[in-house]
Amino acid sequence: MKEKVKGEKVEVLYFPSAGPAHTGDAVEAACRRAEELGITEIVVATGSGQTALKTAEHFRGGKVIAVTYHSGSEIPFDDPLPPGAAEKLLKSGVEILTCGHALSGAERAVEKLGGGAPLAVAAATLRLFGQGTKVCVEIVLMAADAGRLSGNDVIALGGTGKGADTALVISPAHQSSMFSLRVKEVICKPKDFK
């Protein structure tokens, strides 16, 4: 007699499209799932600081880590956050992490020289699930390497362009062991994306 496998039914929120219009719902779903699972770390991709601030307003169960674009991403040696954003984030208890992107970084310079780029392949593969999925995996790798994570499961919030449209439960890993990272749950993501 075959043993019946028991699983857990978990609600997944699928947005009809990608983009910042879903930020509020993504943040609420991520914070709710963190509370349900007892997760105390949420890693948030942010360019302006707004998504991280929204997350900090809703999440009272632990720490929020805002991962920004790297310095010089638009203007050499310039702070990627708008003026005053860092102060607001810090005042709200949000940790800020500014560093090179785990799935591109220096590899972009090698591509310009005509060299191969295996991390670009990894990033493109993750984008099969949407830009937000790639962003979530990337920011968790970055936060792990920066020593900001405990090693326990985290929730990652990322998106397509601005805002958030994707939230995942992730068992983190460092870049040097990135294939040990595990996406354990999808909390929300867009169904239609380009």
Cα distance between residue 14 and residue 186, in whole Å: 10
Cα distance between residue 147 and residue 181, in whole Å: 15
Q: Between 3.40.50.150, 3.40.1380.20, 3.90.1640.10, 3.40.50.300, what CATH number should domain 29-70+91-190 receive? A: 3.40.1380.20
pLDDT per residue of the chain (194 residues) written in tens, 0 to 9: 677 778 888 999 999 999 999 999 999 999 999 999 999 999 999 989 999 999 999 998 899 999 998 776 777 777 778 789 889 999 999 999 998 888 876 666 666 777 667 888 898 899 999 999 999 999 999 999 999 999 999 999 999 989 999 999 999 999 999 999 999 999 999 999 88
pTM: 0.90
Nearest to 187 by CA among 12, 3, 10, 8: 12
Cβ distance 159 to 48 under 8 Å? no
